[in-house]
Amino acid sequence: MPDPKKGNSDGESGAGASQKPVRLKELAEHLDLSPAAVSIVLNRSPVADSIPQATQDRVFAAAKELGYRPDFLARSLRSRRTRSIGVLVPEISEGYAAGVSRGLEKHLLSEGYFYFIASHQSEPELLAEGLERLRERLVEGFILLAAQLKAPPPLPTVVVSGHRALEGVTNVVLDQDHAAHHALSHLADLGHERIAFFRGPSNNADADDRWRAIVDAAATLSLEVAPELSIQLEGLSYGEVFYREGYARAKELLARGQRFTALFAFDDIAAVGAMRAFFDAGLRVPEDISIVGFDDIESASFLNPSLTTVRQPLREMGEIAGRVLLERLGGGETPPQVVVKPELVVRDSTCPAP
């Protein structure tokens, strides 16, 4: 006799009712076939060639009718493929990471990959722990943002803004030399000679390379990088806001009492903070001080004044990271490095030196 569970002969009851999923075995019984046969058909495995089309059609029809979905865990356990990747970002927040993250989805989702995300706060221990925990979950690869890896990770990895060549790792990096040259020659053209610099925090993957590029470019342009105008930004403790750091360091810069007519900030966020500090000190931007940022975050063109900045194609870098990792996972070879080009976006925060 029929037991008193709610009868649902339709497999696909629209409402989000949580009826228990159909299993391969049940589907097979329904079809009067073995689970093996059904699996073979559904996965279009090579052996399926010998199975007549009529049967195959029956199988697909029944699978659809009963709403069969292979169990992800069982399948992954067997195939050792999870179609998942792990993403570690410095901080889930505005600015840089947000820009890159937007690009990640593009290729991944359409290929059936999902990603776990977590933050590493620019701390090596957190990064290492994140890698380990994600590996336990059998992700197939990593995408890391602004991470300073010491050793090659155990899985295919793409690092956005990674400057160390490591076995099995593809670095997606901006051409920092071009970037620095663009920014500084723009300032030089405007007649700026006393230029202040925000140097990136030591725990930032781009900081050293960008600084080196700045020093090189300055030399080429016969500009001075004055130590008394160079400010080292500090990394943030968890949850702090980087705008504040730009603000504080700009105040410090002003307190030094040194004359300068322009600031090249490490990134847009710090630039915005600095701009605020200059306003608070009664200075005008750009009339008294020109500011060049870095990144071209979404808000950059809407600020007051709008921000002249070196544009990193953040979103594109995210897309590249996703695509390159997929290629790797698909067995393709990938280069140790992909270099993307920056672009100087001149807006209203720069003008000729006073």
Contact with a second copy (CB under 8 A) among 109, 165, 219, 281:
109
Residue 52 partner contact from a second copy, DNA, none using kind-dependent CB cut-offs of 5 to 8 Å: DNA
Closest CA to 81 of 144, 147, 156: 156
Residue 241 partner contact from DNA, a second copy, none using kind-dependent CB cut-offs of 5 to 8 Å: a second copy
Amino acid at 83: R
Residue 55 touches a second copy, criterion: CB under 8 A: no
Which uninterrupted H or E stretch holds 186?
helix 176-189
Residue 306 touches a second copy, criterion: CB under 8 A: yes
Q: What contacts 244, CB < 8 A, 6 or more positions away?
A: 273
From 33-41, 115-123, 251-259, 335-343, span contacting a second copy (CB under 8 A):
115-123
User: In whole angstroms, what is the distance from residue 113 CA to residue 29 CA?
Assistant: 31
Residue 235 partner contact from DNA, a second copy, none using kind-dependent CB cut-offs of 5 to 8 Å: none
Looking at the DSSP bridge assignments, the partners of residue 160 are 145, 172
Encoding tokens for residue 79? Answer: 């195939």
**Total residues in contact with a second copy, by rule CB under 8 A:** 60
For 207-240, give one letter per residue: b (16+ CB within 10 A) or e. Answer: bebbbebbeebbeeeebebeeebbbebebbeeee
Residue 125 touches a second copy, criterion: CB under 8 A: no
Closer by beta carbon to DNA, 66 or else 321: 66
Contact with a second copy (CB under 8 A) among 95, 141, 200, 293:
95
DSSP structure class, residue 228: G
Closer by beta carbon to a second copy, 225 or else 269: 269
Q: Is 237 helix (H, G, I), strand (E, B) or coil?
A: coil
The distance of closest approach from Cβ of residue 109 to a second copy in the complex, given in angstroms and rounded to an integer, is: 6
Encoding tokens for residue 87? Answer: 């993403």
Closer by beta carbon to DNA, 38 or else 214: 38
* Strand order through the sheet with 195-199: 230-232, 195-199, 262-264, 290-295, 308-311, 343-345
Contact letters for a second copy, residues 12-51 (x by CB under 8 A): ---xxxx---------------------------------
The distance of closest approach from Cβ of residue 66 to DNA in the complex, given in angstroms and rounded to an integer, is: 11
Closer by beta carbon to a second copy, 142 or else 264: 142
Contact with a second copy (CB under 8 A) among 25, 34, 279, 281:
279
Closer by beta carbon to DNA, 82 or else 185: 82
Q: What contacts 153, CB < 8 A, 6 or more positions away?
A: 131, 142, 168, 169
The distance of closest approach from Cβ of residue 32 to DNA in the complex, given in angstroms and rounded to an integer, is: 7
Contact with a second copy (CB under 8 A) among 90, 200, 273, 322:
273
Closer by beta carbon to DNA, 70 or else 124: 70
For 59-68, give one letter per residue: b (16+ CB within 10 A) or e. Answer: beebbeebeb
User: In whole angstroms, what is the distance from residue 228 CA to residue 249 CA?
Assistant: 13
Residue 23 partner contact from DNA, a second copy, none using kind-dependent CB cut-offs of 5 to 8 Å: DNA
Encoding tokens for residue 26? Answer: 């049940």
Residue 255 touches a second copy, criterion: CB under 8 A: no
Q: What is the dihedral of CA 283, 250, 90, 320, to 10 degrees?
A: 50
Encoding tokens for residue 63? Answer: 């699978």
Closer by beta carbon to a second copy, 36 or else 109: 109
Closest CA to 229 of 289, 179, 176, 178: 289
* Residue numbers at the binding site for a second copy (CB under 8 A): 15-18, 69, 71-74, 76-77, 82, 84, 91-95, 98, 101-102, 104-105, 109, 114-119, 133-134, 136-138, 151-155, 239, 241, 243, 247, 269, 272-273, 275-276, 279, 297-299, 301-306, 315
